[in-house]
Structures are given as structure tokens and as C-alpha cells.
Structure 1
């Protein structure tokens, strides 16, 4: 596998592409379906004012050269930009492998999200949360939402889904539970076959969420949810 620096450069090159056809995928060296190592040392301890729970996409590595812990395409830029705009915010990397074993992995990730929300809500009575999911990670958040105690809904200030496969199924089937759905922002790149029902089978566009045009509005949405 290529180094995180090379992966970052390859993915950042996506920001330069404007063609409407299907460009070739960058050679990142990532083997899709391989599990992502989990690092318990990346789990933040204690309390913070705001916590962003991030469920990464399939086999999405961290941008380690930049101190990333949450996924190079979505989680790392979202968390880093949010913490700049909102001191007191931090990220939590959902502990699941994000591998080709989607059914078992989704269950594992969903349990981790629910357990984290419950534990932190007890330990930190003033902490509030945002849930961010990318690709398979969006499925994790859908699964988790079914088991989040309703009493915790007011503590969850926003949910942002990138490349959400449920979004392709239409408004009704992609909804989160009542009490959470009104706080959801769906980010779907035109042409992304995972979430865009009108897309062709071009995986390239599923990797373009690193673009500032997708990251910046999501960050603004998260900050507004926490502070508004």
C-alpha cells in the first residue's frame, strides 16, 4: 500500500477534475474491502463540549501525515475544519473495520456508536454530539439510529451523511427516526453511483467528497447545529 502522503496527493487531485465523463480512479494503493486497523489510542478520553462521531467509508485510511484519525476523504477534513471553527470540538473514530464484511461490520459499528453516546452522555452531562457517516459509514449511522435511546435525541445536534446508499432509495426509505431526521444533511455528489439515483456506474465521483465544495458546507452545518 502507498504511504498516506501519496494517497492524500492522489485524492486531492480529484479537486482538479471537472470532466463529465468517468475519469480513471487515482492509484492510491488502497485495496478495497481490506479492514482498517483500529487504534484504541485514538479514542478521546474525558469530556468535551462537542463530539463528532465519524464512521469511515470502506477501507478508507487515515491521513496520518496530517494527524488524521477519522478517514482521509471525509472524516479527517470534517473534524479538522470543525475544530478550527469551533474550539472545544473533537472527533471520535467509530470502532469498526469498514471492510468487505458489511453486515457484521455495520452491526459492530452501530453498537459502538450507541455505546459511545450512552457512555459519554452519562459521564459528560453537557456534551453534545454530531454523527457523520461516509459510504458504508452512513449505513452504520442508519443502523445505530434505530437503537439510540430517544432521551438522547436532544443531545444529537446534527447528522451528516456523505455518499449514503440509503439516499439512492428515495426520501422515505432514507429517513432517520422522527426526532433525528430534521437534523440530517445529505451530501451526495452528482454522478456518485452509491447515492445518486441518476448516476452511471462511475466510482470516481464517490471519492470526490474531499473537495472543499462538499466539506465546507458540511462543517458549517455541524457548527451551526452545535452553536445554534
Structure 2
């Protein structure tokens, strides 16, 4: 597993699993879902090379822009990495608040993320269309605004 590095510092692996942690979820990729998703993809795709990217966002309810911050930190590296590595494929994954990050980044927004009852905030889809086409699947579990 790699740590969050700039896209220029990453090798061109066959597949990259980018994970956005759930609300208050510990760990780089997320103890509850991210580590397991990365391990499963790695196991299933052997002998292909698989890297991971831990989306940098607070994953905290006290930070109203957490999803938007995660959206940018997921979409920007994937877009840059897609340009640098034309054969690389992407598997964005997220749990809880991280699922909202993924959902919005791939352009399938489930609706507004309510930061307060009176202040809905929608995060725009951010993957470049070419990057979106190279996302083979996505794993989003427990999207708060879809409940």
C-alpha cells in the first residue's frame, strides 16, 4: 500500500484503488471498509499491480466542507494520474461520508449532502470525462444523504 503522494511521484500500476474514509473512521484507507476493499482487489487481480490512494479529507461532521475537500482530493489526483498513466484503471471506494465523496466525484450524485438542515451543499462531479471512463467500478457503502 502506498501513502498519499503527489500523482507525479506514483508509479503507473495497472489498477489504483482510491479510498475515502467514512465519518470518524480511523486508518489511512479506513479500518472498516478501505483496507478490505484494497486487499480484495489486490487478491482478485493478481498478478496485476495494484496501488492505493488515501483521499485526504477530514471525515468529520464538525467540518462542513469535508465532502467537498475529499471530492477535490479524489478527483484531482485521479485526473492527473490518468493523464500520466494512459493504461491505468481506477477503483474509487468510500464508506459513509467517503461514499458521498466517491458518489459525487464520479458524477452520480445521490443528491445534496446536508451539512445543516437549512443549508444543503451539493458537490459537483469532478472526474474528467476520460478519467470517469477508466473507472471500472466503484464501491460506495452507507451514503448518508441517500438514507
From 144, 150, 168, the equivalent of 2:129 is 150
Query: Secondary structure of the equivalent of 2:64?
Result: helix
TM-score by length of 2: 0.75
| Partner residue, 2:121 | none
Unaligned runs of 5+ in 1: 1-40, 63-68, 169-228
Cα separation, 2, equivalents of 1:122 and 1:76: 26
Cα separation, 2, equivalents of 1:119 and 1:61: 27
Cα separation, 2, equivalents of 1:136 and 1:111: 14
Query: Secondary structure of the equivalent of 1:100?
Result: coil
State which structure, 1 or 2, has the greater radius of gyration over its C-alpha atoms. Answer: 1
Is the 8 Å Cα contact of residues 132 and 161 (structure 1) preserved in structure 2?
yes
Query: Secondary structure of the equivalent of 2:13?
Result: coil
Is 1:159 matched with 2:138?
yes
Query: Secondary structure of the equivalent of 2:136?
Result: strand
From 38, 60, 80, the equivalent of 1:119 is 80
| Partner residue, 1:131 | 92
How many residues were matched structurally?
Answer: 122
Unaligned runs of 5+ in 2: 107-124
Cα separation, 2, equivalents of 1:51 and 1:96: 18
| Partner residue, 1:70 | 29
Cα separation, 2, equivalents of 1:92 and 1:117: 9
| Partner residue, 1:215 | none
Cα separation, 2, equivalents of 1:142 and 1:103: 17
TM-score by length of 1: 0.50
Shift of 1:102: 4.5
Is 1:104 matched with 2:83?
no
Is the 8 Å Cα contact of residues 51 and 90 (structure 1) preserved in structure 2?
yes
Ranked by relative contact order (alpha carbons within 8 Å, sequence separation 6 or more), the top structure is: 2
Cα separation, 2, equivalents of 1:80 and 1:151: 26
> What root-mean-square deviation, in Å, do the aligned CA atoms of Structure 1 and Structure 2 show?
1.7
Is the 8 Å Cα contact of residues 102 and 136 (structure 1) preserved in structure 2?
no
Is 1:85 matched with 2:50?
no
Shift of 1:56: 0.6
User: By percentage of residues, which structure has more helix?
Assistant: 1
Cα displacement string for residues 156-197 of structure 1 (whole angstroms, at most 9, x for unaligned residues) = 1101111112432xxxxxxxxxxxxxxxxxxxxxxxxxxxxx
